[in-house]
Chains A and B, each alone.
Chain A
């Protein structure tokens, strides 16, 4: 259906989020907790935009990542008002992750007047929740957001090594502020207080996955039974495909 985006008429797909539309139309909307793989969470509130709905006299602020487009609305993604909200969000998150380059850049961009830093666990975590989604999708949901209110933090049960953690490190890779500690030395990986033995690629010798990760992959699919790392598997595939032509 037709909607107005920053004064321009655009075509929106029924039910898609404002953020999806903006990304497709190359209209930038800042986010922290959005990832294409997981959709909108509505947690960081950085993506707030103004929306004027049919029959309403005034526009209101809504989260672009969760607001579904089902009626012809008018969307504004930039204004002084919106800038102010973004600035405050960055100011608040910078207390948690102020030392990280991403946060420093954001704080500078929005001309933030800093508040005192606070110590959080894990350090630099902005509670975007992307790690939780990654673990749910790629792993066995070993981590979740625990406690509530100002004490909320991401952790394994009892902060101990979790039986469910397969050491895939999807969480660490998706984290925007590198908050998740990932230690790798030779054949050992340590993450979330758990030690893992790494398996070497039989072609190039690189340590590419944990034993538990491969076993879990085996449960879920036939994929990955070849003990090849990602790049070697691709090379293998390329060779095989060459043989077809």
Chain B
């Protein structure tokens, strides 16, 4: 696989995270979660090193990365707007919030702005259904969000609304 030269600068950091765990497949999830948490995505070199450490082919580690929603193969934005699409939120029109975000930030769901600042995602039910519809930005929970609130929330994180 093609690995950018810059990534090799992180070799020792990746190794430190990876070697926290014994080199067995059962630790694959945990290792990948640690790397994801640290780098906000799974760098190619890290995937390669993880495969070697647990003794599995790279294709299977990539399969894990692409199968599980916890992982991202591309870097996410600095602020990730997660709109809960659980049923309670859905029937309280969470889709409209998504539309607002997409319009204001100019990106689709699952995408990141060109400047790497914002990503928009849907997230599975967070279990805060009494506050439907719910939006989470980098761990901060916003409840009973109306379409009108979306612009204000974006501004909180330094975003500007697109001219719609």
Binding site for B on A (CB under 8 A): 140-148, 156-158, 160, 162-164
Contact = CB atoms under 8 A, between A and B. Distances in A.
Given A163-B1, A164-B57, A157 B62 contact: yes
Nearest to B58: A157
A141 B67 contact: no
- Per CB-CB distance, the 10 closest pairs between chain A and chain B, nearest first, are A141-B57, A157-B62, A144-B59, A144-B63, A146-B66, A147-B66, A148-B67, A146-B63, A141-B59, A157-B58
B60 A146 contact: no
A157 B59 contact: yes
Nearest to B2: A160
Interface of B: 1-2, 44, 47, 57-60, 62-63, 66-67, 73
Given A146-B66, A148-B67, A162 B1 contact: yes
Contacts of B60: 141, 144
Given A157-B47, A158-B1, A142 B59 contact: yes
A140 B66 CA distance: 20
B73 to A, nearest CB: 8
Q: Identify whether the interface residues of A are mostly helix, strand, loop, or mixed.
A: loop
B59 A164 contact: yes
Contact of A146 (B1, B2, B47, B62): B62
21 contacts: A141-B59, A142-B57, A143-B59, A144-B57, A144-B60, A144-B62, A146-B62, A146-B63, A146-B66, A146-B67, A156-B59, A157-B47, A157-B62, A158-B1, A158-B2, A158-B62, A158-B73, A163-B1, A163-B58, A164-B57, A164-B58
B44 A162 contact: no
B59 A147 contact: no
Given A141-B59, A144-B60, A160 B1 contact: yes
Nearest to A145: B63
A78 B131 CA distance: 53
A141 B47 CA distance: 15
A151 B57 CA distance: 22
Contacts of B1: 157-158, 160, 162-163
A15 to B, nearest CB: 26
A164 B60 CA distance: 12
